[in-house]
Amino acid sequence: MTRGAPATTTTEDGHARQLDELRRTVDLSVPYAIRAAITLGLAEHVSEGRTTVDALAEATGARPGGVRRLIGLLVFEGLFTVAGDGIIGLGPKGHLLLEERVHAMLDRRSGHGRLDDAWPGLLHAVRTGRAGFEHAKGHSFWDELASEEGLNETFDRTLAEWSSVWAPKAVEALDLTGEHVIDVGGGSGALLGNVLSAFPGTRGTLVELPTTAARAEAHLTGLGLGDRTAFARQSFFEKLPEGGDVYLLAQVLHDWPDEEAAAILGRVAAAAGSGGRVLVFERLPEDEPHHHDLAFDLKMYAVFGSGERTRDEYAALAARAGLRLESITRLHGGMHAIELRAADRSG
Ligand SMILES: C[S@@+](CC[C@H](N)C(=O)[O-])C[C@H]1O[C@@H](n2cnc3c(N)ncnc32)[C@H](O)[C@@H]1O
């Protein structure tokens, strides 16, 4: 199957139009202006009645010349209006700038907003298969999250919101009754919370970096599950807690190039031993991907030098860690449960 329109010969007019479209597509001014406006909270100030450039500059601690230029351009995007007397209003799409989920995605103060800092490292990631974020900024995305108040929290919150969509459905497809479940890189505990709530008699251990582990502890204790949960505040590149019946790795492997992903899986395999089950929750590439699937996968590649893997790639990764791919079950929202077992296990 071929995707995309084939090349055609064009007239001079057609060529000029295509060149114009390309210029508009590659122009970075609008994406950056939208992010700056959102981070300054310009739409919120306008909706609260600060409707001149000077009032907005004063309220946001920004320069009037900068605010005027931002708003001037964003008028063309339908986000603001400027009347003849200079009074600023929200344009037909301006309400979007007020939405929490838009802030979570684009605000420079949000964890997910910082993913965009990887784009200057895309070429490096494509050439080397290594994290473009690190190349562009000199430190990893995870170090970036730890570097500023609020980044880690907003990142965890966005992931927890997504987990609240897919995790309950994933739990419906599993039976973990009475098991000891170890969630490696378990975030703020949304998946483990669903597992422990759904299956009585289950015990959980959550492995996470300290800040996120503290958030998970607050979450699981708040659900009344604290007495069934232990916390391992550590890196998953170190020796992992042993004795689990099932090890979960949700949306962790797609953050790491093959070398590191195999090392994490190796730690899990060693801890799980010959009898343990490993359940990896990830998206697989769609057969007929949408633009946003491809764009997000490329963004992940820019950030981490990694992204969504195919079934064969997971099988190869599992084999490097001494595991065998047993089955893949499609879940809600494009997520999949990929079950791995010790490769030398008989039966
Ligand atoms: C994409 S999130 C997935 C979180 C959760 N499993 C979920 O599905 O929502 C990846 C997680 O890996 C954690 N992480 C990153 N580096 C880690 C490390 N070296 N050791 C343990 N956890 C780590 C991050 O804190 C983050 O919570």
pLDDT single digits (tens) 250-289: 999 999 999 999 999 999 999 999 988 999 999 999 889 9
Task: Give 24 Cα–ligand 1 centroid separation in angstroms.
Answer: 36
Chain segment 96-115, per-residue pLDDT in tens: 999 999 999 999 999 999 99
Residues 254, 290, 292, 336: which is the catalytic one? 254
Specify if 268 maps to a domain.
yes
- Residues 342, 343, 344, 347, Cα dihedral to 10°: 80
Report the number of distinct structural domains present in the chain. 2
Tokens 């997520």 appear where? 335
Asked whether residue 270 falls in the same domain as residue 156, the answer is: yes
Asked whether residue 93 falls in the same domain as residue 155, the answer is: no
236 lines ligand 1 (CB under 6 A): yes
Percentage of the chain modeled with pLDDT above 90: 91
Task: Give 325 Cα–ligand 1 centroid separation in angstroms.
Answer: 22
More reliable by pLDDT, 40 or 174: 40
Alpha-carbon span 252 to 311, nearest angstrom:
16
| pLDDT at 347 (0 to 100) | 46
Asked whether residue 207 falls in the same domain as residue 90, the answer is: no
Residue 254 is among the residues annotated as catalytic for this protein: yes
Chain segment 293-327, per-residue pLDDT in tens: 999 999 999 999 999 999 999 999 999 999 999 99
Specify if 186 maps to a domain.
yes
Q: Which of 98, 125, 143 is the last residue of a domain?
A: 98
For residue 48, what are the CA distances in angstroms to 54, 77, 103, 326? Answer: 15, 21, 17, 57
Q: Whose CA is nearest to atom 18 of ligand 1?
A: 235
Asked whether residue 155 falls in the same domain as residue 261, the answer is: yes
Alpha-carbon span 54 to 92, nearest angstrom:
23
| pLDDT at 345 (0 to 100) | 62
Q: Which of 65, 82, 98 is the last residue of a domain?
A: 98
Do residues 243 and 261 make contact, with C-beta atoms less than 8 angstroms apart?
A: no
Alpha-carbon span 118 to 134, nearest angstrom:
8
Q: Round the average pLDDT of the chain to a whole number and report it.
A: 95
For residue 278, what are the CA distances in angstroms to 4, 156, 194, 265? Answer: 38, 23, 17, 9
Asked whether residue 91 falls in the same domain as residue 159, the answer is: no
Specify if 196 maps to a domain.
yes
Mutate to test the pocket of ligand 1, among 143, 145, 207, 208 (most ligand atoms within 8 A of CB): 208
209 lines ligand 1 (CB under 6 A): yes
Specify if 108 maps to a domain.
no
Q: Whose CA is nearest to atom 20 of ligand 1?
A: 235
Averaged pLDDT, 179-196 = 97
Atom number of ligand 1 nearest to Cα 156: 27
Alpha-carbon span 282 to 265, nearest angstrom:
14
Q: How far, rounded to the nearest angstrom, does the alpha carbon of residue 287 sit from its chain's CA centroid? A: 21
Q: Name, in order, each residue with C-beta under 8 angstroms of 197's C-beta and a sequence gap of 6 or more.
A: 223, 225
Specify if 312 maps to a domain.
yes
Do residues 215 and 188 make contact, with C-beta atoms less than 8 angstroms apart?
A: yes
Answer yes or no: is pLDDT of 237 > 80.
yes
Averaged pLDDT, 135-147 = 97
Asked whether residue 225 falls in the same domain as residue 327, the answer is: yes
Q: Is 229 helix (H, G, I), strand (E, B) or coil?
A: strand
Answer yes or no: is pLDDT of 232 > 80.
yes
> pTM to 2 decimals?
0.93
Asked whether residue 87 falls in the same domain as residue 163, the answer is: no
Task: Sheet with 229-233: list strands edge to edge.
Answer: 229-233, 203-208, 180-184, 246-250, 277-283, 335-342, 323-330
Asked whether residue 241 falls in the same domain as residue 316, the answer is: yes
Chain segment 34-89, per-residue pLDDT in tens: 999 999 999 999 999 999 999 999 999 999 999 999 999 999 999 999 999 999 99
Asked whether residue 261 falls in the same domain as residue 179, the answer is: yes
Domain that holds residue 84: 9-98
